Structure 1
Amino acid sequence: MEIQIRRLFEKQISLKYPAYAVGAYLGLKMTSSILRSIVKKVRILIQKKKVREFIQQRDANLQNLKIPTPNLSEEVIRLVLDSDITNLKKLLEAKTVTSVDLVNIYSKRVQQYGVQYGIITHLKYDEAIEAAKECDRLRQENSPLCQLPLFGIPISMKETFEEKGYPSTVGSSFRINRISEEDGFCVKLLKSGGAIPFLRTNVPQAAMLFESANEVYGRVQNPWDRTKYAGGSSGGEGAAVAARMSPGGMGSDLGGSIRIPAAMCGVYGFKPTAQRTIMSGHTLYSEAFNGQRTVLCATGPIGKSVDDLVLFFRQLSDPQYLQKFKLFEKDPFFPLQQINEAELTNNKKQRRFGYFKTLELFDCTVANQRAVEIAVEKLRAQGHQLVEITLPNVESISEGFIQFLVADGFEGIYDLLSQEDTIQEYMPINFFTSTPAGVKRVLSFLLKLLGQKSTAKLLPQTNRLKVEELNRLQYQISVLQQQYLRVFDDYEIEAIICPSFGTPALPHSSSVDSTPICLYTYIWNYINFPCGVLPVTKVLKDEQHLKNTRNKELPAKRVDFYMSQNTEGLPVNIQVVAPPFKEETCLNVMKMLDDEIQFYKHNSYPELK
């Protein structure tokens, strides 16, 4: 017995050393983690100080600019601010104004309102005024360059486009010193068409949210109501056009990032088929993010009319402009396609279009449905046939798009934001990517018991995907593309008229718990169909709700609450969708509708305060 006790005691002594080692290792790991967290916080604090100095310098430079008031009447200045680019071209040709006048008029408005609305990142006044002087000189000489689509017109650019001498922060505090050494190809192409990029506009942190806020340039406020978001990720661009700080400009769209801001701000936006657009010169987020090819991003314009969208489309897609550049610049792997002029100006009678007013997975508001009804009746009045359609496998698209977003555990974006914390609007994505798969299964079961079936079904699908799972997802996309092409064939339709979004603009930060309303835009990104939005109507007093929804879960209740927060009078757009590479058809149908609706002949642009 004594020997057994001695052996047990010796065994315990021998085990205590490994226990000490394990304890020491865990202690070091914990200490290391705490130290890394402290170091990160210190770095963030230091960087915030640098950002404050950066913004103070930006603001000082902006306010110190001596921008002359053009020698024009108030009536002409007002006409300039209200005009689309197409009309500005006429004013330039008639010598009513000069390009210098245009740069000064818009720059002065940016100087007055741009920072307080969170719309701008930088005003490129010095470069723009020199370019404007050169355009005016060439116009005096009757140069053939004056016939270029955007000649002498100041335009704005989303901050994600590379421009020489300016940072493309993508809303990241640690990228304020990442200065582009030359213009990106998209900017070069627009300049070759005579455009004068004079303004850079704000985006969300990492440009992956449908409302625009970051800790560098602040939060974009909607010109129609400063308590509402302006959409994202091209939120500054949509707001700049609606606020008449820019006559038009460029955005980019991965899940609705052109169309959402255009819809929230009551202006026009167009997303082409991804392979018929220019992505070269759109800044590098991270290798992990830019390398993905599951759902392709597209660049496109935001403007004040469909005519303006066509002007941008010509300059960005017409081979006669693209062929001037070298192969490596224009991306030889995207096909050059001649613009179909006959389709762009198609005025045939008795054409056939499809439409839907809402989707059962998440109903849109009464106001958004009424906007579709208005558009449908306008087309019917012109003698066209309109047939109500049903979209196939909407739930599969919704699930697939979410899987795509978090397929890499969001590492592509976390790489970009590796040195900083994400803003609160990323809370749902952070939860999805950081929660272990087993915990998600448990939470899914509990949510199902609580009646939150949609979220319960979604949670298990937000895990990081293996290569074979991602390949399977990509195959499913190709199957869905074929199914949606069959919709056009089976219904014998040329285009689809549908809601531009689930709601009008909602209060700031409401994107945290209202994500399903994006369904109406990302459907078309997922299957890569071209689409555009245009303003139709405004929210009526009795439409400030979502009580019409068939979905009674928490997100719908939150949207109903947000809709009650004084949304009366906000603009409501509709969306036009065409088959892949049928951009001309999409723009043509948008033009037909715009000619009949003429939103800004019956409504004024918002007055800034």
Structure 2
Amino acid sequence: MQIQVRRLLEKQVSLKYPAYAIGAYLGLKLTSSIFRSIVKRVRMLIQKKKVREFIQQRNANLQNINIPTPNLSEEVINQVLNSDITQLKSCLKQKKQPVVQQYGVQYGIITHLKYDEAIQAAQECDRLRQDNSPLCQLPLFGIPISMKETFEEKGYPSTVGSSFRINLISEEDGFCVKLLKSGAAIPFLRTNVPQAAMLFESTNDVYGRVQNPWDRTKYAGGSSGGKGAAVAARMSPGGMGSDIGGSIRIPAAMCGVYGFKPTAQRTFMSGHTVYSEAFNGQRTVLCATGPIGKSVDGLVLFFRQLSDPQYLQKFNLFEKDPFFPLLWINEAELGDNKKQRRFGYFKTLEYFDCTLANQRAVEIAVEKLRAQGHQLVEITLPNVELISEGFIQFLVADGFEGIYDLLRQEDTIKEYMPVNFFASTPAGVKNVLSFLLKILGQKSTAKLLAKTNRLKVEELHRLQYQISDLQKQYLRVFDDYQIEAIICPSFGSPALAHSSSVDSTPICLYTYIWNYINLPCGVLPVTKVLKNEQHFKNSRNKQLPAKRVDFYMSQNTEGLPVNIQVVAPPFKEETCLNVMKMLDEQIQFYKHNSYPKLK
């Protein structure tokens, strides 16, 4: 008995030291975690002070800009402010000068105003015009344009809404800016984006929240939110954005202006700032650059300057991506005015309906085309649910590390809450939650939640194969229905309340579906929300996101602009723009409506 007790005591003593070691290790880990958290908080507090100083200096610089009052009548000033790019070109020939409005900071729209540089560039354009330089014939010659903050411009930061990038100043213009300047365009505004530029509303802790010029209580879209708002507010006749899930078309639709996303390989991403190596290295869904403007004609001029090989010949191979095909503009398709063409359309998608206002906008567009003698056939899209699930898988395939790498020194804003949850929750916990959500009747959310785990390499390859198969299926839609283009909703709803993106994500389906399969598409304004359309009772989906959209729609959405979307086959940008032009000539939204008045 004594021997057994002795052995037991010896065993306990022998286990004591490993227990001490494990306890010490866990203690060190906890202490280290607490220390790192404290250091991070201290750094963020210090950086917030730097951001305040940065913004104070930016505001002081804006206030010190001496903008002379133009010696023009009120009628001429309004004419210039309301002009699209083609009309501005005419105004410039008549030596009428555009003016600058000072609502950019108040509405969170602009990050920087490059007034002095723009004046010098404009004076050079005046000299060239007097000398009858052949440069005067370039598409954007002498036109003041705005650039999304994510494009690199010499002397300015591309923060991507990150507090820790305010001193990351570009030493030279990026390729996209060089290309536009080579056509004598004049970048004079930089416009605001969401933190990390991966949200469909624009807000960050550096420049604040972009407010919609039509209603300051509503978002202006994202990620090119400042761009859409700047055009609608008449601060800019047009400018450059980028689009990986709707980031050009959503702001254009929310603000009632025009936006165009080409096939990803038809324009260049060179000069669009690096978010992080992990983010910029992904090739599953490609980002595209494109314009937002006041007319389809303005979009065409941007498209010419960005895509026409004659304007790209002077640049080196390493500047322009040599693996992007240089295609000559197809003038026949761009100017096609044949009668009895055939187009497809759909008004809503069963997976997640769009609002009645968005459906009515499609009906208006369809009837306008029919009235011109064209055939319109209602179509059904294949595997919409598969695309929705696949796009969510793509977003979190890396556990959101590409974005966390960009924001590694700061916290994400609250609008990223759903993505943070998807990325940080262990797979086992998600499975349990998915089961509980299914019991509670939230079947769509339950199914998506199960699709949000970090992907292994072979799983990512399967996803990429699935995308290529879906691309073929969607090209068959054009073949089977014998259609040139598709007319459809631009978004699931009009502009909604700030921060509503947190619980209404499915309404993005109508834009990201075309990024996922990489088709060119554009949006244009058609109508406004009617009083009796301020709801989402028409939704066949009765789950929580639909209920939230219904709630937000009831919050005074009457009178907000509603766009439609035109989609064409890959590398058929000219067809897309041509159909947009046909529709715009018949609808003429701004012939019947005024631009919003800022308050």
Which TM-score tier does this pair reach, normalised by the shorter chain? over 0.9
In 2, the alpha carbon distance for the partners of 1:584 and 1:566 equals 38
The alignment status of 1:369 with 2:359, answered yes or no, reads yes
The alignment status of 1:85 with 2:75, answered yes or no, reads no
- Aligned-pair CA distance for 1:139: 1.1
In 2, the alpha carbon distance for the partners of 1:78 and 1:589 equals 29
**1:386-401 superposed matches below 5 A:** 386-401=376-391
**1:157-556 superposed matches below 5 A:** 157-556=147-546
Partner of 1:562: 552
In 1, the alpha carbon distance for the partners of 2:264 and 2:412 equals 28
Map Cα deviations across residues 309-352 of structure 1 (whole Å, 9 max, x no partner).
00000000000001111111111100100100000000000000
Partner of 1:113: 103
Partner of 1:135: 125
Q: Which amino acid aligns with 1:67?
A: I
Partner of 1:154: 144
Q: Which amino acid aligns with 2:143?
A: I
In 1, the alpha carbon distance for the partners of 2:8 and 2:320 equals 77
Question: What is the SS of the residue equivalent to 2:10?
Answer: helix
Partner of 1:64: 64
**1:556-595 superposed matches below 5 A:** 556-595=546-585
Q: Which amino acid aligns with 1:549?
A: S
Deviates more, 1:64-73 or 1:375-384: 64-73
Gaps of 5+ in 1: none
Q: Which amino acid aligns with 2:60?
A: A
In 2, the alpha carbon distance for the partners of 1:460 and 1:375 equals 38
- Aligned-pair CA distance for 1:277: 0.8
- Aligned-pair CA distance for 1:3: 1.6
Q: Which amino acid aligns with 1:357?
A: K
Partner of 1:2: 2
Map Cα deviations across residues 36-71 of structure 1 (whole Å, 9 max, x no partner).
000000000000000000000000000111110121
- Aligned-pair CA distance for 1:14: 1.5
In 1, the alpha carbon distance for the partners of 2:92 and 2:39 equals 56
Q: Which amino acid aligns with 1:42?
A: V
Question: What is the SS of the residue equivalent to 1:302?
Answer: strand
Partner of 2:42: 42
Deviates more, 1:4-13 or 1:432-441: 4-13
Partner of 2:28: 28
- Aligned-pair CA distance for 1:143: 1.4
- Aligned-pair CA distance for 1:222: 0.1
In 2, the alpha carbon distance for the partners of 1:324 and 1:599 equals 39
Question: What is the SS of the residue equivalent to 1:327?
Answer: coil
In 2, the alpha carbon distance for the partners of 1:386 and 1:9 equals 88
Question: What is the SS of the residue equivalent to 2:557?
Answer: coil
Map Cα deviations across residues 423-469 of structure 1 (whole Å, 9 max, x no partner).
00000000000000000000000000000000100111100111111
In 1, the alpha carbon distance for the partners of 2:476 and 2:90 equals 43
In 1, the alpha carbon distance for the partners of 2:122 and 2:181 equals 12
Question: What is the SS of the residue equivalent to 1:404?
Answer: helix
Question: What is the SS of the residue equivalent to 1:113?
Answer: coil
Question: What is the SS of the residue equivalent to 2:596?
Answer: coil
- Aligned-pair CA distance for 1:191: 0.6
Question: What is the SS of the residue equivalent to 1:328?
Answer: coil
Question: What is the SS of the residue equivalent to 2:147?
Answer: strand
In 2, the alpha carbon distance for the partners of 1:204 and 1:587 equals 28
- Aligned-pair CA distance for 1:236: 0.2
In 1, the alpha carbon distance for the partners of 2:136 and 2:448 equals 54
In 1, the alpha carbon distance for the partners of 2:254 and 2:419 equals 23
In 2, the alpha carbon distance for the partners of 1:480 and 1:530 equals 16
TM-score (norm 1): 0.98
Q: Which amino acid aligns with 2:316?
A: K
- Aligned-pair CA distance for 1:96: 4.1
Gaps of 5+ in 2: none
Question: What is the SS of the residue equivalent to 1:461?
Answer: coil
Q: Which amino acid aligns with 1:588?
A: N
Question: What is the SS of the residue equivalent to 1:240?
Answer: helix
In 1, the alpha carbon distance for the partners of 2:466 and 2:13 equals 60
Map Cα deviations across residues 365-410 of structure 1 (whole Å, 9 max, x no partner).
0000000000000000000000000000000100000000000001
Q: Which amino acid aligns with 2:353?
A: D
Identity rate, percent: 88
- Aligned-pair CA distance for 1:551: 0.1
- Aligned-pair CA distance for 1:11: 1.2
In 1, the alpha carbon distance for the partners of 2:147 and 2:568 equals 26
Question: What is the SS of the residue equivalent to 2:450?
Answer: helix
Question: How many residues are paired up?
Answer: 599
In 2, the alpha carbon distance for the partners of 1:564 and 1:556 equals 13
In 2, the alpha carbon distance for the partners of 1:490 and 1:9 equals 82
In 1, the alpha carbon distance for the partners of 2:312 and 2:333 equals 21
Aligned-residue CA RMSD (Å): 0.5
Deviates more, 1:496-505 or 1:320-329: 320-329
